[in-house]
Structure 1
Amino acid sequence: MRNPAYFFQSLESIYYFRMRIPTDLQPIFKRTELKKSLRTRSKTVALRRCRQYVAAAEQVFESLRLSHFKAEMACVNPTGQLVELTVLERLDSPPTIRDREKELWNKVYNAESAIVEEQQSASTAEPEPAAIPLTPPIISASQRIPLSELIRLYITEVTDQRGQDIARGIEKNLIRFMEIVTDKPIDQYSVEDKLRYRDCLQRMPKCINRKEYHGMTIDEIIEIERPADELLSVKTVNMRLIDVATLFNWAVTNTLIDSHPFKKAVLKIQKSDDAERPAVSDADIKVIIENLPRIPDEPSKFWIPLIACFTGMRQSEIAQLDGDDIVNTDGTWCIDVNDRGDKRLKNSNAKRIVPLHRVLVDSGLVPFAERRRGLKLFDDVSN
């Protein structure tokens, strides 16, 4: 999909604003275009900032035209003849006025902080001729976006990059976080908010949506005494803490805030010696492999454990393979792990070519795959 006008991405994936200066105004700016880094790799954030720059630039262009030379302005020379003023002649207006308007544009163009500075000094400064109604600052120290807006922007990007199902789960956790710490500007959260959220998670039941909790507040729910096995596990608590930290890391990356207090929030998982599971021995693995069932209508029960054992692939990756994913590369049979069609991978790094172990070749995986060309490798598995 092409990016909109005024908007492009560099080789380093940073988004930039670029806008052509109208020909009649180029002598004032002494350039043909305006260009500025949007300081973000997020398309969502970049689009929002770009729209604000476009609005500000158009307001400046309009003001300059009204201040210095009305369109098709005419005057009468000493002989009584009408003379149309050229652009260069119109630029003979007092340099102090031009300089002030150029300075005003530079404040809009160069930094959001300059806009804040101008707004703060507007009440004491002398009136400027042809004042320009500037757009609000993109992000200012006194006007950070609220948490609810940050979540909306972040989930939009997660949906684009990771899919709706994953985004929906993350959004649910983040909304619960907002219920606990309240919705406020994102630079106003503190270590106390982190500790409160973590404490609530540690006392929260696994099934908080049960009918018995309807109508109750979070504080009322967590005050109820319940056995440890009915509470969220440490692993689940940590996953939700990581969701929040990732949200605020995203805000830092996109220059919405400078820092946040949600780092290093995860809990240590205590493991007792007797809780450690003994490793499966080679003899045990051999017994498992030799007793895998070969059921004609359920080939996955034989092949998925066998492929996992000799490739290290995730079972979800194996289950969604196509018959065409078993390929011969330079004389070596391999599995092409890809996200073509309806296949989904954990991340882009999961794409790879995995050579087939001799046991898989000897067990007949290649002829089995040949019979499944154009089809799913395992039609007895619902992906």
Structure 2
Amino acid sequence: MYTYLLNRRGHYHFRLRVPSDLSQVISSAELNKSLKTKDLKEAHLLARHYLQRIHTIFSLFRAGYLDHQHVKEQIDCVLGRTRNKPESLKATAEVPASLSTYPTHRLSSIISSFISDKQMGWSLKTKMENEASLRLLLDVIGDGAIENIDRKTASLLRDALCILPANVYKVLPGIPVSRVLEELKTGCSSHPPMSTTTVNKHLSRFSTLLAYCVREGILRSNPAEGMTLKRKRKADEERKAYSPQDLKMIFENLRYHDSEPERYWIPILSMYTGLRLDELCQLYTEDVTEYDGVHCISVADTQDKKVKTLSSRRIVPVHPRLVKLGFLAYVRKAKANGQLRLWMNLKRRDADGYGSAYGKVFQRFNRKYITNDPLKTFHSFRHTFANSLKQQGVQESLIAEILGHTNPSITTGRYGKRFQPRVLLEAIKKLEFELD
């Protein structure tokens, strides 16, 4: 029996014990709701809906979005919403967060519904990022009626974001955002502002929230549409490729140790495959295998792995230089030892996957031995890889497939099949780095 279901005289009820940290907010020890069904499967689906909605409200309260009164109001709203048994099980499984049933369209209520609706399709990291952006939104413009948000409100938000520091809650803990803004405007406080990229991420999430309101019939138009800032640098200037001298210094300073093989192999693999940091750090031994007689690395979202986009699912041939350096021998040994993952030292973090800790390790190495240029990071390997293939005359669609980008050509992207492994290998063979 599911712990959140209770059978009373043949009818199922939803039951959830109130967490201890919310006992002062919610007077009862348990939340209850009759599901008006005798069918266990249907009751489970209904209860899962209520569980998801209420846990979202709890999370928003803990993150500082909602005060005590709003928590009570939203829980009452959720538990009082479904009066009749749905016409079909499908309808039950997809109970929409209909915003028209909210007594008022307070911004916090809309955020709660928005997150609840979207979170099933989000990774934990995406959920946390959206929650952080929307918390900041609430603190800047206040918890008023969503209908009162107009173009002027969106402009004021953008202006505020442009002067606020990144990670304001960590940089200035315990200080209300309104006070931080006041001190920044009057010159009483001085902190580096967040980057244009970060401002645009917050604005984009704000716009997505308002677009959701348009779809739900709450707003007629999206006042935040087109509010993002123009980038000060061109896209190809936001990260720099490593120079030949940088690559040589990296290779010379890398040292192989049996106890920490990832510190040696991951930079070199990125150099010769163009794989992202997370893609490399999450690899399993079975991901290195043969396709049509070509040794390849498979990038997929199987097991506990994730990919950035659907286009990121791909195979990338192993460069002959990697074979010469002993990478395939390392993989064979790992498989023979019963090792499931390539890098057993790396631990997965729910929000960040396997790459977070190693990224910090590499950045210390990068700054100590290679460069202090802030535009040169681990991602520079990917830029180096792409630029090197481009300079060798490799066609753009080939580079896009190897990197896991959407095919830039509509015709070949829609109607053409993926390149054969041998075709990809011939392209990768054109990479020539003078490391010795």
Into which bin does the TM-score normalised by the smaller protein fall?
0.5 to 0.7
- Cα separation, partners in 2 of 1:367 and 1:234, compared to 1, 3 Å: same
1:181 aligns with 2:146: no
Matched residue SS, 2:316:
strand
Match of 2:155 among 195, 205, 209: 195
Q: How does 1:73-112 map to 2 (within 5 A)?
A: none
Paired with 1:218 and 1:153, the residues of 2 have a C-alpha distance of 24
Match of 1:171 among 116, 123, 131: 131
Paired with 2:201 and 2:240, the residues of 1 have a C-alpha distance of 26
- Cα separation, partners in 2 of 1:372 and 1:205, compared to 1, 3 Å: same
- Cα separation, partners in 2 of 1:154 and 1:278, compared to 1, 3 Å: closer
- Cα separation, partners in 2 of 1:226 and 1:334, compared to 1, 3 Å: farther
Paired with 2:263 and 2:205, the residues of 1 have a C-alpha distance of 35
Paired with 2:127 and 2:181, the residues of 1 have a C-alpha distance of 26
Indicate the residue corresponding to 1:152 in structure 2. 112
Match of 1:222 among 168, 172, 181: 181
Paired with 1:269 and 1:249, the residues of 2 have a C-alpha distance of 23
Indicate the residue corresponding to 1:378 in structure 2. 343
- Cα separation, partners in 2 of 1:376 and 1:231, compared to 1, 3 Å: same
Tell me, yes or no, if the aligned pair for 2:297 and 2:316 is still in contact at 8 Å: yes
Indicate the residue corresponding to 2:433 in structure 1. none
1:234 aligns with 2:193: no
Matched residue SS, 1:238:
helix
- Aligned-pair distance for 1:336? 1.1
Paired with 2:243 and 2:290, the residues of 1 have a C-alpha distance of 32
Gaps of 5+ in 2: 1-51, 54-77, 89-97, 348-353, 355-436
Select between 358-367 and 205-214 the one with higher mean Cα deviation: 205-214
Aligned residues with identical type, % of pairs = 27
- RMSD, aligned α-carbons: 3.6
Q: What whole-Å deviation, never above 9, does each CA across 1:196-240 have from its counterpart, x for those lacking one?
A: 2122222324454369763x5433221212676433333322221
Paired with 2:274 and 2:154, the residues of 1 have a C-alpha distance of 38
- Opposite residue 360 of structure 1, the aligned amino acid is L
Matched residue SS, 1:378:
coil
1:161 aligns with 2:126: no
- Aligned-pair distance for 1:380? 2.6
Paired with 2:240 and 2:140, the residues of 1 have a C-alpha distance of 40
Match of 1:326 among 264, 275, 288: 288
Q: TM-score, normalised by structure 2?
A: 0.50
- Aligned-pair distance for 1:332? 0.8
Select between 238-247 and 346-355 the one with higher mean Cα deviation: 346-355
Paired with 1:148 and 1:366, the residues of 2 have a C-alpha distance of 53
- Opposite residue 177 of structure 2, the aligned amino acid is I
Paired with 1:221 and 1:371, the residues of 2 have a C-alpha distance of 56
Paired with 1:277 and 1:350, the residues of 2 have a C-alpha distance of 20
Which of the pair has the greater relative contact order for Cα pairs under 8 Å at 6+ separation?
A: 2
1:249 aligns with 2:211: yes
- Opposite residue 196 of structure 1, the aligned amino acid is L
Matched residue SS, 1:321:
coil
Select between 231-240 and 330-339 the one with higher mean Cα deviation: 231-240
Paired with 1:172 and 1:213, the residues of 2 have a C-alpha distance of 14
- Aligned-pair distance for 1:279? 4.7
Paired with 2:285 and 2:146, the residues of 1 have a C-alpha distance of 49
1:345 aligns with 2:304: no
- Opposite residue 179 of structure 2, the aligned amino acid is E
Indicate the residue corresponding to 2:275 in structure 1. 313
Aligned residues: 254
Select between 322-331 and 242-251 the one with higher mean Cα deviation: 242-251
Q: What whole-Å deviation, never above 9, does each CA across 1:146-189 have from its counterpart, x for those lacking one?
A: 32232122222443222334312311220221232233443431
Tell me, yes or no, if the aligned pair for 1:324 and 1:372 is still in contact at 8 Å: no
Indicate the residue corresponding to 1:262 in structure 2. 224
Paired with 2:239 and 2:119, the residues of 1 have a C-alpha distance of 37
